[in-house]
Chain A
Amino acid sequence: MREPLTGSQTVGPFFHYGLAWKPGEHLFPDPNTPGERITLTGTVRDGKSELVFDAFLELWQPDGAGQFGHPNQGSCAGWGRVNTNAQGVYVAQTVMPGSVQGAAPHVMVVLFARGLLKQVVTRIYFAGDARNAAEPALQSAGARAQTLIAQPDPARPGVWVWDVVLQGDHETVFFDL
């Protein structure tokens, strides 16, 4: 007989010390990780376009060679946890993900916050990757696909900007997986 799942509850406003993680903003602390070093950053906004200062994102991805985890780099390589700051900004240090099984490279994002009774789940793709054109997740999002694509910051080489809008105009596409 199957058991009912444990239900989700909000992370609340006071998670920071309970979920403190160092170095949470570094997905691949080992400098020898295959892949181009990049910074992923952006803001999180609510339905009034106010900055959300008490959210956190967990990012999960393969390295630049499309491999998950690295026992010799720590067991959780490829995973990171970043809080938004008082300005609603998160910053993560990682590598450009490689393709897995030919799919367009992407990062999985799981976002928690006060006011979210369960996580929202989405993906970050990277502008300019030719594989994006055939990607089912982007195709299913139609005109909203832009919310799933990080853009390079022309003023800051290696920095990719991806913003989250939890609600309202330009609401980020979230997935039911």
Chain B
Amino acid sequence: MTFRHPAAGTHPAFATPSYGSTALRAPKLAPLSLAQGPVELSGPRFDTSVLYPHHDDMTRQSTAAPLGERIIVAGQVRDENGHPVPNTLVEIWQCNAAGRYHHPRDDHDAPLDPHFNGNSRVLTDAQGHWKITTIKPGAYPWRNHPNAWRPAHIHFSVFGSSMLQRLITQMYFPGDPLLGDDPIFNSIPNDKVKERLISRFDWSLTQPEWALGYRFDIVLRGDEATPAN
């Protein structure tokens, strides 16, 4: 098999001047075309041994509930041909409700929540579905430009069945006023692709008296030779 190459405009360019950290880290030379080999076409297989207690519920990983608005986030991992990606590892991390990461280098003057680590790990089911419970992350400032603030977001890392499907991305929330000026969100050239990084509020995931639900589907590269569903 061969994975289809992403359409132009799907992923950001390495050099994105509005995101300052790309200046010295973006490669200057274009990547060389290479045929996909057997190493790249395979990949690790993770099983339930990599899961930990309350791996899918960031509100239950401590002795008390974290502060913030409890939410449910769920979605499907599938490939661009419409085929579900089953049993694949999704790693998820985020800051707390006040906009601070549980990370020694995060010096934002906002409180740490002793009951919130902000990490989760799930395996998709046979149909590619996954679901977590967490709290809504806060916006946070960064030093990219004057008065720069990141829109609220949750980080996602996905494997797929081959290392060529490997993807790290960020999920945003509908109606966030910070999205329009965020250099990272806006680094995606194609508007349709960009919009799909915004989760959708979903009544069917919303639990009465408990938590609002948001849907975030993730679409990975698929086999060039496989017709779409």
Contact = CB atoms under 8 A, between A and B. Distances in A.
Majority DSSP secondary structure for residues of A touching B: loop
A137 B34 contact: yes
Nearest to A173: B32
Given A10-B184, A177-B164, A3 B117 contact: no
A10 B102 CA distance: 18
A89 B28 CA distance: 22
B119 A18 contact: yes
A14 B170 CA distance: 13
A61 interface: yes
Given A46-B24, A117-B13, A3 B170 contact: no
B204 interface: no
Majority DSSP secondary structure for residues of B touching A: loop
B28 A8 contact: no
A17 B117 contact: yes
Interface string A103-132: 100111010111111111101000000000
A9 to B, nearest CB: 4
A112 to B, nearest CB: 6
Interface in B108-131: 117-119
Contacts of B46: 75-76
Given A4-B80, A75-B49, A118-B12, A175 B34 contact: yes
Nearest to A66: B38
Contact of A50 (B24, B155, B164): B24
Contacts of B32: 137, 140-141, 173-176
B21 to A, nearest CB: 3
Interface residues of B, number: 82
A11 B197 CA distance: 15
B119 A6 contact: no
Given A3-B219, A75-B45, A116 B26 contact: yes
Contacts of B13: 117
Interface in B25-41: 25-40
Nearest to B229: A1
Contact of A11 (B16, B26, B168): B168
A136 B34 contact: yes
B119 A17 contact: yes
Given A18-B92, A115-B19, A46 B25 contact: yes
A25 to B, nearest CB: 15
A118 B11 CA distance: 7
Contacts of A101: 38
A100 B12 contact: no
Given A9-B12, A61-B39, 18 more contacts: A3-B78, A3-B82, A6-B217, A7-B190, A7-B196, A8-B11, A9-B197, A11-B157, A14-B105, A75-B46, A115-B22, A117-B184, A118-B14, A119-B166, A141-B32, A166-B26, A173-B32, A174-B31
28 contacts: A4-B219, A5-B6, A5-B193, A6-B167, A8-B11, A9-B184, A9-B197, A10-B168, A10-B184, A11-B155, A14-B103, A16-B103, A18-B93, A48-B24, A60-B42, A60-B43, A69-B42, A74-B49, A78-B44, A115-B21, A115-B23, A115-B25, A117-B14, A119-B166, A120-B27, A137-B34, A141-B32, A177-B34
Interface of B: 3, 5-7, 10-14, 16, 19, 21-40, 42-47, 49-50, 78, 80-82, 91-95, 101-103, 105-106, 117-119, 155, 157, 163-164, 166-170, 184-185, 187-188, 190, 192-194, 196-197, 217-222, 228
